[in-house]
Amino acid sequence: MFQQITKGIKISVKTTYNGTVHRGYTQHYAFSYFVTIQNNSKDTVQLLERFWSIFDALNETEFVEGEGVVGQTPVIKPNEEYNYRSNCFLLSPIGSMTGKYKMINIETQKEFLVTIPTFQLTTTPTLN
């Protein structure tokens, strides 16, 4: 599991490899990632936007941004958490993702960025 804490917001990510899929005539490696956003601050926050950098060993880095996550902009109260699952398709069996969430403090209306830890996407565990 990969974890990062920014301003009291803890991001935890787990990944799984789901096998290969064909999109058109091209084989892709399918991965799922499970994210837990835990609010350890004293303030209620809302996730507004996401910014991802997706590195594929056989392709250029892809940048994805947009409103919320999986169609939601969750409000997370102190000592609560929000969980979601999403997917990624790579041309290579090895890659990684990293990013940021734009959040807002509901009481002060101040926006801030929360770091998503870099996590690996691999078909099989690799030893160094």
Q: pLDDT digits over 8-21, tens only?
A: 999 999 999 999 99
* Residue 56 confidence (pLDDT) above 80: yes
Strand ranges for the chain from DSSP E: 2-6, 9-23, 26-39, 45-56, 62-67, 75-76, 81-90, 94-105, 111-122
Distance of CA 72 to the CA centre of its chain: 14
What pLDDT is attached to residue 26? 92
Q: What is the pTM of this model?
A: 0.91
69 near 37, Cβ under 8 Å? no
What pLDDT is attached to residue 127? 55
- Sorting pLDDT into bands at 50, 70 and 90, what band is 118? very high
Q: pLDDT digits over 89-113, tens only?
A: 999 999 999 999 999 999 999 999 9
95 near 40, Cβ under 8 Å? no
Mean pLDDT of the chain: 94
- Output b/e per residue, 61-88; b: 16+ Cβ within 10 A: eeeeeeebbeeeebebeeeeebebeeeb
